[in-house]
A and B are shown apart, each in its own frame.
Chain A
Amino acid sequence: MTLRDLKIGQAGRITAVGGEGALRQHLLDMGVIPEVEVVVVKYAPMGDPIQVRIHGYELTLRLSEAERIEVSREPYVANHAYAEPLHIPHPGLGEEHLTAHERAQEHPLPKGTILKFALAGNQNCGKTTLFNQLTGSKQHVGNFPGVTVDRKSGAIKGHPDSEVIDLPGIYSLSPYTNEEIVSRDFILKECPHGIINIVDSTNIERNLYLTMQLMELGVPMVLALNMMDELKGNGGTVRINEMEAALGIPVVAISAAKNEGIDELIEHALHVAHFQEPPQRQDFCSPQEHGGAVHRCLHAVMHLIEDHAEAARIPLRFAASKLIEGDALVREALHLSQNELETVEHIIQQMEQERGLDAAAAIADMRFNFIRNLCRQTVVKPHKSKEHVRSLAIDRILTGRWTAFPAFLLIIGLIFYLTFESFGAWLQEMLESGIDWGVAAVDQLLTDAEVDAAVHSLIIDGAFAGCGAVLSFIPYIVLLFFFLSMLEDSGYMARIAFVSDRLLRRIGLSGRSIVPMLIGFGCTVPSVMASRTLPSVRDRRLTILLSAYMSCTAKVAIYAFFAEPVFGNMAWLAMVGLYLLGIVTGIAVAFVAKTLVMKGEAVPFVMELPNYRLPGIKNVAHLLWDKTSDFLQRAFTVIFVASIVIWFLQNFNFHLQMVDPAGDQSILAIVAGVVAPIFEPLGFGDWRVATALVSGFMAKESVVSTIETLSAGVPVTDILSNAGIICLMVFCLLYTPCVAAVAAIRRELGNKYALYTVLLQCSVAWVVAYIVSLFL
């Protein structure tokens, strides 16, 4: 009997986990291991994937994966005794620091050393909230070398001689995704002085799995038990002193959202890092468990590879366990001889025979056994989690069979309405009139001061007209990012992936691709970067290809500018239509690419469904500030430069004499006149439009500023017909992404693919705009 055969509400005990390679390892890392109980919660609206409850959390996987998991309906009977709960007296006054700090192993760093910390944890455990609490507003955003994985860092508040690096949210240190490889490479190669491991205490069993792997790295470490307020609110708790004693690292109960326990966490983190106190425990295998098969295997391999691990600078225990799990990267780094490799193989075979499980499952089982024992000794579980019950109730509608898709359309429709019509439009109008007033005031000042006509024009028609036109669209951009971050932080984005998986599989993608695609509505750059969470290159390529068709917020400025004069009050509906056209075109392109070029199957869909949570105001504010400042930076750099250059080209001829900017004697008019005929069949073969489209490659907002600058006050409806304007909007929707997005694609997939993307999108845009022109 397999997991697929269980009906909704039925429970089963896993007896074997089939499959192979990275996916199987990922399933094991997520806690899908033999002898664990699993309950089927529901099926997605289209009948696939399936939602199950395991280790107290919700996991989704496809039926094809569920088919490989064998289950039995017999109850589990432990063949070994669990440890009894520990009882350790609470430390007395002034003894708080003595429990988990081993003075004998201290190697204090010289004073003045900048203490570097890695902040590591599972996804959805409150890591970003903790990072914001630790660092405040002083954060730097960059990349991990070689890959486009975000690297956020910042000094701990009040401790300028420290640096916290926010690692990506990961479930284990197995090389399943780029993020997991980046995280372990960072810890192994950049040697942070300490690790702050954040754990969701309401889902402690699954979260501690990563903790154990981090402890194997031998780096000084502090364990932060987040969401303790929630756990205690539901009647549960964690015996902190007992957990410290069992793990040999400082354990601190915190609530990142409420800023509770953060000071104590910082104190412990600085202490272990400064005194270089490694975890007192790294050995989690037991000689008593299942005849000690795993224990003997691990220790035998450790002895065998000791010199190789030292030479490769990989912590011994970590190297041994990864080698046994079959981690190809560690195996390669160790440079073992053929003889040694064969010996390792023999040791593993012996263990598998004695344990009755394959090596990867045996190691995962050993870790989870330790965790189960630890939790029995130190964790008082709540009877029921209010947050979980609430999530299940919400999911009855948001992932319900008949309600999931209408709810999704309703939510997205509401977001668009609020952003582009009601609230957003009001804010935009306010800002626009403010900018117009400011420009008019400066204009008057310059006139009064009898400023030279050329300089006057440079300031007003060049710099102010260009930047001002773009700045007025800030409300749209900020609001759309606000709603997207709300979707992501609340946990709804994961539900959208669950609901849409089967639909996306028809175009060769998995539900996980929906996240980068939705982010694409905000900005293509983070959307391209978000595709890194997909474990297959094929899926990453296809997702990036599709994401580029999701209309980014910068294009909103273009639509709003052109739609208003043509559609009047119905402009917002035209904008929704453009968004839909982008989606349909993207799907069509992806479908053709899947059929002709990128053949193959989508990556497996194994994903956690976190409880719904209200996003933290601070987190959202941080994100909005990031996006707004990024937009302002672009407005005052790229667009400023582009506006000045365009003003110059528009106002001078090839003999550097000033000419009429609206005439056809300027450099710009002559050059753009060469390109313009390409757009003649589409109804916008005007040199000013051609110039605007070229400048749009720098930044999409530039299209508007360029048209504003070039039209010199002439309404756009006097330059183009209504049909031409509509075709222009369609072309802008689909043509090449901006230079920043192309650069992100180049970093992610290489030069060739970035060039293909640009050429493909321009061609598709021309063809679709031409088709639209035939109907108008």
Chain B
Amino acid sequence: MNLISVILLIIILSAFVSTLVYLVQKNRRGPTCGSCSCCGDSGCPMRR
């Protein structure tokens, strides 16, 4: 596997992991909520 392949693999994997983390967080605060600072829900982990 050449260097470009390794770099591309790292980019794709980090994009995958960060998107997954984002989705898990978004799901925790409710899929209909579009912003982490305005929901006001007491159960929301992103509550300001």
CB of B41 to closest CB in A, whole Å: 5
In the complex, which residue of chain A has the Cβ closest to the Cβ of B11?
A: A459
Interface size, B (range): 20 to 34
Residues B31 and A142 in contact, CB atoms below 8 Å apart? no
The answer to whether the Cβ of A267 comes within 8 Å of any Cβ in the partner chain is: no
Residues B35 and A142 in contact, CB atoms below 8 Å apart? yes
Q: Which B residues are in CB contact (< 8 Å) with A636?
A: 19
Query: In the complex, what distance in Å separates the CA atom of A463 from the CA atom of B32?
Result: 25
Residues A637 and B19 in contact, CB atoms below 8 Å apart? yes
Query: In the complex, what distance in Å separates the CA atom of A747 from the CA atom of B12?
Result: 34
The answer to whether the Cβ of A667 comes within 8 Å of any Cβ in the partner chain is: no
The answer to whether the Cβ of A140 comes within 8 Å of any Cβ in the partner chain is: yes
The answer to whether the Cβ of A146 comes within 8 Å of any Cβ in the partner chain is: yes
Query: In the complex, what distance in Å separates the CA atom of A331 from the CA atom of B16?
Result: 53
B4-29 CB mask vs A (1 if < 8 Å, else 0) is: 11001100100110011011000100
Query: In the complex, what distance in Å separates the CA atom of A637 from the CA atom of B34?
Result: 14
In the complex, which residue of chain A has the Cβ closest to the Cβ of B47?
A: A145
Residues A140 and B41 in contact, CB atoms below 8 Å apart? no
Residues A140 and B37 in contact, CB atoms below 8 Å apart? yes
CB of B14 to closest CB in A, whole Å: 12
CB of B38 to closest CB in A, whole Å: 4
The answer to whether the Cβ of B30 comes within 8 Å of any Cβ in the partner chain is: yes
A140-163 CB mask vs B (1 if < 8 Å, else 0) is: 111111101001010000000000
Within A210-258, the residues touching B (CB, 8 Å) are none
The answer to whether the Cβ of A6 comes within 8 Å of any Cβ in the partner chain is: no
Residues A640 and B41 in contact, CB atoms below 8 Å apart? no
Query: In the complex, what distance in Å separates the CA atom of A641 from the CA atom of B20?
Result: 7
Query: In the complex, what distance in Å separates the CA atom of A630 from the CA atom of B15?
Result: 19
CB of A68 to closest CB in B, whole Å: 38
Q: Which B residues are in CB contact (< 8 Å) with A676?
A: none
Q: Return the contact of A640 from the options B2, B16, B37 (Cβ within 8 A).
A: B16
Residues A451 and B5 in contact, CB atoms below 8 Å apart? yes
Take A455-B1, A463-B12 as given contacts and tell me if A143 and B31 are in contact as well, using a CB distance cutoff of 8 Å.
Answer: no
The answer to whether the Cβ of A181 comes within 8 Å of any Cβ in the partner chain is: no
Query: In the complex, what distance in Å separates the CA atom of A723 from the CA atom of B26?
Result: 40
Residues A455 and B19 in contact, CB atoms below 8 Å apart? no
In the complex, identify which listed stretch (A29-37, A738-746, A759-767) lies at the interface while the others stay far away.
A738-746
Residues A143 and B12 in contact, CB atoms below 8 Å apart? no
Residues A743 and B32 in contact, CB atoms below 8 Å apart? yes
Query: In the complex, what distance in Å separates the CA atom of A450 from the CA atom of B2?
Result: 8
Query: In the complex, what distance in Å separates the CA atom of A688 from the CA atom of B35?
Result: 36
Q: Which B residues are in CB contact (< 8 Å) with A146?
A: 41
Q: Return the contact of A455 from the options B5, B20, B33, B40 (Cβ within 8 A).
A: B5
Residues B31 and A739 in contact, CB atoms below 8 Å apart? yes
Residues B1 and A640 in contact, CB atoms below 8 Å apart? no
CB of A437 to closest CB in B, whole Å: 21
CB of B39 to closest CB in A, whole Å: 4
Query: In the complex, what distance in Å separates the CA atom of A637 from the CA atom of B31?
Result: 13
Q: Which residues of B contact A (CB under 8 A)?
A: 1-2, 4-5, 8-9, 12, 15-16, 19-20, 22-23, 27, 30-35, 37-42
10 contacts between A and B (CB under 8 A): A143-B40, A145-B39, A145-B40, A146-B41, A151-B39, A151-B40, A452-B1, A455-B1, A637-B19, A644-B16
Q: A148-B32, A451-B2 given. 5 additional CB < 8 A pairs?
A: A140-B35, A450-B2, A455-B5, A458-B12, A459-B8
